[in-house]
């Protein structure tokens, strides 16, 4: 964005200023002799900064320092020039409520690369100075890509670990170093096994098998080892869902050092998928204390995904409190928080940037502001007044795009236009329709041309075998009812989410069926006892045998086919891709490969769909949804230039963890009570996921309850905003594959 600054003499401006004369005062008007006009050359807004003639040379440095920062606050005003008069000393058009330095990156990949670069720079600087480099390391899903990038640098020969000493934050207590879930194992798999020049004696991880009577001494020795190494140069942290860092749970003292801790139930729930059940998660751990962490010379805190948005905001914008241990980082002189767009979506700069200062008002931000205001005041959109806007930091919006009733009508119309009974689109033809159909037309005119759906080919991409019906079962059924050729592609098998007792039940059926029909083969008779014996001796988290994985896969296949059939999708249009990245038998997955992308590309080319629906959940705690979405985006990049793709629409759905907000949604499909019943019936066909899913995440409700509650809540919210009242609604966001895309491109809507 080009900027320019120049000085000018102005007359006495001690007169009232209003939108009529094109000048808005954000400070008390004063007599100005000379000022500088800093203006965005691509918009009609400027900042008027008073200066003295004698200060003019110095002011150029001032403009150079502030212009890059200032450009973020310039408004795109179409009708007239808006000038903000500010004092030179306080010129800062885009302030924040953040109490700690914070950087926001487009996605997790970009963020992880940035962190890896900082680690590499720290290591190289220490090497150049002839010193040891002491690193504090974290575990969990957050730093995996950082370690992957460091390994890449090392293998390419640009990074040596010869002078590196590491101290890990924590370890579960009572767990063996070679156990699948141990942090010793984690660090070996993701980093240390790939580093060829690091002295193993420089690797330090708390001992989870220290005798209980010796734990305190072990913790003291761990502290002493850090001190002896010279202290930690760079400490990496992840952010727990309740704000913990390391295993320092809520209520941990600021002065705590390395110690034994009892794990919060939320922490254990979040770890349940790694241990194949909450009951297998250790109840205790050894962790560096908050005081230990804060002694590091540099600290980086990372967070990904919308499920971290709320706690990230509390960490950087809230008060320092032991109830959010990460908030203690506000005291550190050299700590930074690094977020992706999704995890930054709870910050004030994203939720309500207008309270921080001037913003660039586009249609999306106006819609968000109006909906926010209506919800704040518990009013419908059309009842909002100029006074409501003025009293809630939105007077600027009224002045440049108002009055209030004009803004209200525009936003109301935008929301109304997203509601459709025809997700597959519609073609108008001559004729009259009944009142039930015309009620869904924009003008509700029963004499209007009836909208008749035009048959299309549709692909619904489902990361797991139940995501299609959980997230868009109502829309799926509607598409089938309207005669569209609907295909569902199940991207992964979901086999690891099947309980052993479900597999045993199916094996029992197979044995009994073979007995009564006389069709049981000798090979099957030999395999079944072996599988049962394996299950009987199986340890928590142990990987299933290939045959048991196949049995669990078949269970998910049959459930998915049955559920899709409830919605009207015939069995021959159910496609099971079994993407290789998923097939590890564990929660940890492989990297996305060209083979994964090729499976999706081949499906698209074979079906040549007019519409594609994909899961846009950015809060997936296990990462499979995000990986599946990334595969779809990359596949779209490969096929979008082909002639058949012209006019193809791509919609992103949600529902497993969150729902799209009204300001985000581009299409909302309403459901009646009977539509909702059909959707729930389809979800019930996934028997292995009902009652108690193996990996439910932090939400303990069953999936059908989550779906029902979310869909009802969306409909209720639209009704409160003044839109028609429906039983339930499913919301979708349109994705444009012709724009530069990345995994979290949709999250950037909140930052436009």
Hey, which residues does 126 pair with through a beta bridge? none
Among 338, 348, 346, CA closest to 110: 338
Burial 398-418 (b: 16+ CB within 10 A, else e): bbbbbebeebbeebbebbbeb
Residues 259 and 286 sit within 8 Å (Cβ to Cβ):
yes
Active site residues: 249
Sign of the CA dihedral 696, 698, 704, 705? positive
- Beta-bridged to residue 103, according to DSSP, are 338
* 409: Cα separation from own chain's centroid: 32
Q: Would you tell me how many other CB atoms lie within 10 Å of the CB of residue 70? A: 22
- Closest alpha carbon to 526 in 549, 547, 557, 540: 547
Query: Tokens in use for 714?
Result: 């969306």
- The two most distant CA atoms of the chain are separated, in Å, by 103
From residue 161, how far is each of 150, 156, 185, 251, 487 by CA, in Å?
10, 13, 19, 36, 50
- In three-state form (DSSP H/G/I as H, E/B as E, the rest C), the secondary structure along 549-592 is HHHHHHHHHHHHHHHHHHHCCCHHHEEECCCHHHCCCCCCCCCC
What residues contact residue 124 under an 8 Å CB cut-off, 6+ apart? 159
Query: Rounded CA gap, 534 and 554, in Å?
Result: 19
Strand positions, DSSP E, 77-121: 82-85, 102-105
Q: Token match 């010379």: residue?
A: 297
Q: Name the percent of the chain in helix, strand, coil, to the closest 5.
A: 45, 15, 40
- State how far the Cα of 9 lies from the Cα of 536, in Å rounded to an integer: 87
CA-based radius of gyration for the chain: 29
Distance from C-alpha of 654 to C-alpha of 202, rounded to nearest angstrom = 45
Task: Tell the residue number behind the tokens 């992964």, with chain if given.
Answer: 492
Is 133 within 8 Å of 123 (Cβ atoms)? yes
């Amino acid at each position: 964005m080009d900027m320019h600054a120049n000085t000018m003499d102005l007359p006495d401006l001690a007169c009232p200023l209003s939108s009529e004369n094109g000048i808005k005062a954000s400070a008390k008007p004063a007599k100005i002799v000379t000022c500088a006009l800093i203006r965005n050359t691509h918009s009609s807004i400027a900042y008027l900064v008073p200066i003295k003639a004698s200060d003019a040379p110095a002011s150029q440095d001032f403009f150079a320092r502030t212009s890059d920062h200032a450009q973020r606050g310039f408004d795109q005003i179409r009708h007239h020039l808006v000038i903000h008069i500010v004092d030179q000393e306080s010129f800062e058009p885009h302030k924040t409520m953040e109490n700690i330095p914070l950087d926001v990156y487009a996605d997790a990949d970009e963020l992880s690369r940035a962190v890896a670069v900082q680690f590499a720079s720290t290591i190289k600087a220490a090497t150049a100075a002839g010193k040891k480099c002491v690193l504090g390391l974290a575990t969990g899903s957050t730093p995996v890509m950082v370690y992957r990038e460091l390994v890449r640098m090392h293998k390419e020969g640009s990074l040596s670990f010869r002078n590196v000493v590491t101290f890990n934050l924590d370890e579960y207590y009572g767990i063996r170093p070679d156990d699948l879930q141990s942090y010793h194992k984690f660090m070996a798999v993701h980093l240390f096994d790939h580093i060829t020049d690091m002295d193993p004696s420089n690797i330090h991880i708390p001992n989870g098998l220290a005798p209980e009577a010796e734990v305190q001494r072990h913790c003291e020795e761990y502290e002493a080892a850090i001190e002896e190494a010279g202290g930690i140069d760079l400490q990496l942290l992840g952010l727990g869902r309740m704000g913990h860092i390391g295993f320092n749970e809520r209520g941990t003292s600021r002065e705590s050092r390395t110690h034994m801790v009892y794990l919060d139930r939320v922490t254990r729930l979040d770890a349940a998928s790694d241990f194949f059940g909450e009951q297998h998660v250790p109840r205790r751990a050894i962790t560096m204390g908050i005081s230990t962490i804060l002694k590091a010379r540099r600290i980086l805190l990372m967070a990904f995904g919308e499920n971290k948005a709320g706690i990230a905001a509390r960490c950087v914008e809230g008060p320092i409190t032991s109830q959010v241990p990460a908030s203690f980082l506000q005291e550190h002189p050299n700590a930074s928080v690094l977020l992706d767009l999704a995890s930054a979506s709870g910050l004030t700069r994203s939720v309500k940037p207008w309270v921080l200062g001037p913003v660039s008002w586009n249609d999306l931000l106006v819609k968000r502001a109006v909906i926010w205001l209506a919800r704040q005041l518990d009013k419908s959109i059309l009842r909002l007044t100029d006074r409501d806007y003025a009293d809630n930091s939105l007077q600027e919006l009224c002045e440049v795009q108002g009055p209030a009733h004009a803004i209200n009508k525009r936003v109301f119309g935008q929301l109304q236009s997203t509601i459709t009974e025809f997700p597959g689109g519609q073609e108008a033809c001559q004729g009259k329709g009944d009142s039930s159909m015309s009620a869904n037309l924009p003008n509700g005119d029963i004499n209007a041309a009836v909208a008749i759906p035009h048959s299309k080919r549709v692909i619904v991409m489902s990361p797991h075998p139940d995501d299609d019906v959980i997230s868009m079962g109502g829309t799926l059924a509607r598409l089938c009812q309207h005669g569209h050729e609907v295909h569902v592609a199940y991207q992964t098998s979901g086999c690891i989410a099947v309980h052993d007792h479900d597999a045993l039940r199916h094996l029992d059926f197979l044995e009994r069926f073979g007995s009564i029909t006389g069709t049981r083969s000798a090979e099957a008779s030999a395999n079944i006892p072996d599988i049962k014996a394996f299950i009987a001796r199986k340890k928590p988290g142990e990987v299933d045998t290939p045959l048991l994985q196949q049995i669990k896969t078949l269970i998910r296949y049959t459930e998915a086919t049955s559920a899709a059939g409830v919605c009207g999708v015939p069995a021959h249009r159910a496609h099971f891709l079994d993407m290789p990245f998923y097939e590890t038998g564990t929660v940890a997955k492989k990297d996305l490969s060209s083979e994964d992308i090729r499976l999706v590309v081949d499906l698209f080319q074979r079906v040549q769909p007019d519409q594609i629906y994909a899961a846009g959940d950015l809060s997936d705690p296990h990462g499979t949804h995000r990986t599946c979405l990334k595969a779809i985006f990359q596949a779209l990049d490969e096929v979008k230039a082909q002639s058949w793709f012209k006019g193809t629409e791509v919609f992103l759905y949600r529902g497993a963890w969150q729902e799209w907000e009204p300001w985000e949604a581009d299409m909302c499909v309403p459901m009646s009570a009977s539509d909702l019943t059909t959707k729930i019936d389809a979800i019930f066909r996934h028997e292995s996921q009902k009652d108690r899913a193996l990996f439910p995440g932090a939400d303990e409700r069953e999936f059908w309850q989550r779906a029902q509650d979310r869909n009802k809540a969306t409909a209720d919210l639209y009704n409160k905003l003044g839109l028609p009242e429906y039983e339930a609604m499913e919301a979708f966001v349109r994705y444009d594959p012709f724009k530069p895309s990345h995994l979290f491109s949709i999250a950037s809507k909140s930052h436009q």
